[in-house]
Amino acid sequence: MAKQKKMVEEITSMDEDFVKWYTDIVKKAELMSYSSVKGCMIIQPYGYAIWENIQKILDGRFKELGHENVAMPMLIPESLLQKEKDHVEGFAPEVAWVTHGGSEKLQERLCIRPTSETLFCEHFSHIIHSWRDLPKLYNQWCSVVRWEKTTRPFLRSVEFYWQEGHTMHETAEEAKKETEQMLNVYANFCENDLAIPVIKGQKTEKEKFAGAEATYTIEALMHDGKALQSATSHYFGDGFAKAFDITFQNRENKSEYPHQTSWGISTRIIGGIIMTHGDDNGLVLPPAIAPIQVIIIPIAMHKEGVIDKANEILNELKSICRVKMDTSEQTPGWKFAEYEMKGVPLRLEIGPKDIEKGQCVIVRRDNREKIIVNLENLENEVLRLLEEVRKGIYEKALERRNNMTYTAKNMDEIKEISNSKQGFIKAMWCGSKECEEKLKDELGITSRCIPFHQENISDKCAICGEKAKNMLYWGKAY
């Protein structure tokens, strides 16, 4: 398709300056606003509505699988954070501390949760006594704080909203199954609801979560060729259980440590949606999470019967989708641009000419296709087109990822690709941390994951030439 004319002059073109394009979108679509605390953002109604839709869908799926929501404190005593060695080493550099209560200096300082493993563990140690208490399938929706040095809206903020699942199981097998199950919940959500293609895999030792035995991830490729870790699921084994002294009497009346998992997805995924689907006209939202799925724009509103007909359509569509009508005094052209900026999947135009013919015009956000729809068949067509948009943006994203995924057999090829292109690099790896560090130092790329779907590119590690263990995805990450 020929390149579409850019209609929104205020948005920087993504080819010109991707970073600026991203910031422009986030601001112009009124997703968030900066606050007076560095790195903390105000999520505005339109942005929060997206998050609420994400929450609604995922929360439903978690609950279907037996998980229960809880609320843990925001403050963690320092001694509690210290209990698991790897964990504290991983998080200590970026935690914020509360040192005073009113004017009194605290005996022990309290950290603002960067994640809640320690709190859950302490609680689990109190409530888990018997195999009959297991499994415990907990989740909480909350915000956490990590003192990041450089921040970006949604992608990396000091405070961010997320969901953290924490579960305890009788056996390692059951916990591993849970870890895998939740990774699949995220992967299905990303692919089917958000229309973001993801690579499922395992993190290397170097990249795994602080304190985990194994970390699983879904990795997505953004428009600019950088990778975004979109959700993670961790298998903890009984490491935390030992550190926090969580034990239960098993079926043989013996004391045993339970096996644990945790898993999460954050508001960062909103950044992923923007950078996967957005274009030079603004946001493009997957229908499943779009706060407005259909925007009705009456044309020549003052003309007899237009508003009445538009209202009729509004009421009809309310029962099948999230629909709104804009009756403000702005010109139609202004409204077209405005709702494109906001990524609304379908625009419905209804004017005097349409009413005469018993039809309306529906325009898809993803490809701007104009479709004339008979009003008698409206509901079916709207549902069909919403699904078409979902498929359309998924396929476009998948095609782009495929075009931006390269294969390298040796260091020269990795260098060549890394220096001239943006995207994923698939290459064999021997399993050593040294090879990972080498790529990071020399080329600034990190291992994204060991994909579940392995390919045998060659028998040798592309970096050192030793015997290869796995095929890895490499890339520059957000």
- Interacting residues toward RNA by CB under 7 A: 7-10, 19, 23, 28, 34, 37-39, 90, 93-94, 146, 148-152, 155-158, 160, 209-210, 229, 232, 266-268, 281, 299-302, 329-334, 336-338, 340-341, 347, 349-354, 360-361, 363, 368, 440, 444, 477-478
CA distance linking residue 394 with residue 414, whole number of Å: 28
Name the amino acid, one letter, at 149.
Answer: K
Q: Which residue, 329 or 434, is less far from RNA as judged by CB? A: 329
Find the helix packing angle between 378-403 and 268-277, rounded to 10°: 90
C-alpha dihedral sign at 23, 24, 25, 27: positive
Q: Which residue, 27 or 396, is less far from RNA as judged by CB? A: 27
- CA end-to-end span of the chain: 30
Integer angstrom CA distances of residue 298 from 303, 313, 322, 338, 356: 10, 11, 17, 14, 14
DSSP summary character for residue 194: S
Site of tokens 């999470």: 289
Integer angstrom CA distances of residue 403 from 221, 306, 400, 425: 11, 46, 5, 11
Residue 336 C-beta: closest distance to RNA, Å? 4
The beta strand positions in 23-124, using DSSP E, are 32-34, 41-43, 68-69, 75-77, 96-101, 104-112
Residue 401 C-beta: closest distance to RNA, Å? 18
Residue 160 C-beta: closest distance to RNA, Å? 4
Q: Which residue, 144 or 241, is less far from RNA as judged by CB? A: 144
Q: Which residue, 54 or 128, is less far from RNA as judged by CB? A: 54
Q: Which residue, 230 or 257, is less far from RNA as judged by CB? A: 230
94: number of Cβ within 10 Å: 13
Residue 449 C-beta: closest distance to RNA, Å? 12
Residue 95 C-beta: closest distance to RNA, Å? 11
Q: Token pair of 17, please?
A: 């300056």
Length of the chain equals: 478
Q: Which residue, 296 or 411, is less far from RNA as judged by CB? A: 296
Q: Which residue, 2 or 37, is less far from RNA as judged by CB? A: 37
Residue 31 C-beta: closest distance to RNA, Å? 14
Residue 460 C-beta: closest distance to RNA, Å? 27
Is residue 372 within a helix (H) or strand (E), and if so which, with residue range? Answer: strand 370-374
Q: Which residue, 170 or 280, is less far from RNA as judged by CB? A: 280
Residue 30 C-beta: closest distance to RNA, Å? 12
Cβ atoms of residues 157 and 149 within 8 Å? no
